[in-house]
Structure 1
Amino acid sequence: MIKILKYTEYLYLIVAVVSIYKVATLWNVARDETYIFIFFAIVSLGMFFFRRNYRKKFEQRKRDNQQ
């Protein structure tokens, strides 16, 4: 289960990178569309750090229970 949590972290990171790329390419062409991608990038980065912190706490709790 820990490996699945690690993969979902990086999935959020990939979504953030793709969103930032779309913002960079669309900024001068269609600025109205870029705001949704900025939102996706911010939320994805927040979820990446939240999930990473949650996974580390989960791993620590698992190690503490095994000892």
Structure 2
Amino acid sequence: MGYLKYTQYVYIAFAVFFIYDGVTKLNEGNENYPLSFLIAGMAIFMFFFRRRFTKRFDDRNKKQ
């Protein structure tokens, strides 16, 4: 389960990509830019959720 500690950073990469995509669409005048920012917000939320979940999982394993 060591790979789970690193997969949470994939969400940050997605967030950076979708923020860039949203800013690009906003500057071009495309009306679909809120969707990119929404996906970026969800990716940031998932990063913190997975981080908390991984920490809780590690703490539980240390007690056993």
Q: Same fold (TM over 0.5)?
A: yes
Instruction: Indicate the residue corresponding to 2:51 in structure 1.
Output: 52
| 1:39 partner amino acid | L
Matched AA of 2:18: S
Give the Cα separation in 1 of the matches to 2:41 and 2:50. Answer: 14
Matched with 1:16 is 15
In 2, Cα distance between equivalents of 1:15 and 1:6: 16
Distance in 2 (CA, whole Å) between partners of 1:40 and 1:30 is 19
* 1:37 correspondence with 2:47: no
Amino acid of the structure 2 residue aligned with 1:50: F
Runs of 4+ in 1 over 4 A off after TM superposition: none
Provide structure 1 residue ranges, at least 5 long, that are not aligned to the other structure: none
Structure-1-length-normalised TM-score: 0.86
Alpha-carbon distance between aligned partners in 2 of 1:4 and 1:32, rounded to the nearest angstrom: 38
Matched with 1:5 is 4
**Which AA in structure 2 matches 1:52?**
R
| 1:8 positional shift | 1.7
